[in-house]
Structure 1
Amino acid sequence: MALALLGALALTGCSAVKFGYEQGPSLAYWWLDGQFDFNDSQSTRVREALDRLQRWHRQRELPLYADLLSRSATLAEGPIEAEQVCKLQSDVQQRLDALMQESIRQLGAVAVGMDARQIRHLSKHLEQKNAKWEDQWLQGSASARLQRRLDKAIERYADFYGSLTTPQTQLLRQQLEQSLWSPEWGRQERLRQQRDLLGTLMRIDLENLSARSTELALLGVWERWLEPRSAADRQRWQDWMAQGCKNLAELHNSTSQEQRQRAARRLRGYEKDLRELAGRS
Structure 2
Amino acid sequence: MSAVLRMVAAAALAAVLAGCSAMRLAYENADTFVRWRASSYLDLQGEAADDLNDRIDAFHAWHRANALPQYAALAREAAARAERGISPDDIVWGYDSFMAQARESLREAARRIAPLLDRLTPGQVAHMEERFAEDNRKFARENMKGSDKERRRLRFRRAQERLEDWVGPLSDDQAERVRRFADETPLFDELRLADRKRLQAEFLAIVRAHEATRRLADAATSWQRGRDPAYAAASDAFRAGYFALLADLDKTLSADQRRHFVARLRGFAEDFDALVAAAARERAAPEARPQ
Shared topology, TM-score over 0.5? yes
Distance 2:161 2:34 in 1: 26
Distance 1:40 1:262 in 2: 48
Contact 2:111 2:217 in 1 (8 A): no
Following superposition, the deviation at residue 232 of structure 1 comes to 5.3
1:30 corresponds to: 36
Following superposition, the deviation at residue 171 of structure 1 comes to 0.8
Contact 2:114 2:213 in 1 (8 A): yes
Which letter maps to 1:225? W
Select which of 109, 120, 128 maps to 1:114: 120
Distance 2:136 2:251 in 1: 36
Contact 2:42 2:127 in 1 (8 A): yes
Distance 2:258 2:141 in 1: 35
Question: How many residue pairs align between the two structures?
Answer: 272
Which letter maps to 1:244? Y
Following superposition, the deviation at residue 158 of structure 1 comes to 0.7
Select which of 212, 215, 224 maps to 1:217: 215
1:253 corresponds to: 251
1:71 and 2:77 matched = yes
1:138 corresponds to: 144
Following superposition, the deviation at residue 51 of structure 1 comes to 1.4
Distance 1:223 1:107 in 2: 15
Which shows bigger deviation, 176-185 or 55-64? 176-185
1:6 and 2:19 matched = no
Contact 2:88 2:247 in 1 (8 A): yes
Seq. identity, %: 24
2:162 corresponds to: 156
User: When the two structures are superposed, what TM-score results if normalisation uses the length of structure 1?
Assistant: 0.89
Which letter maps to 1:171? R
2:98 corresponds to: 92
Select which of 36, 46, 52 maps to 1:40: 46
Select which of 262, 277, 284 maps to 1:264: 262
Following superposition, the deviation at residue 8 of structure 1 comes to 3.1
Following superposition, the deviation at residue 186 of structure 1 comes to 2.0
Contact 2:20 2:271 in 1 (8 A): yes
What is the RMSD of the two structures over their aligned residues, measured on CA atoms?
A: 1.9
2:289 corresponds to: none
Residue 77 of structure 1: SS of its match in structure 2? helix
1:275 and 2:273 matched = yes
Distance 1:54 1:194 in 2: 24
User: When the two structures are superposed, what TM-score results if normalisation uses the length of structure 2?
Assistant: 0.86
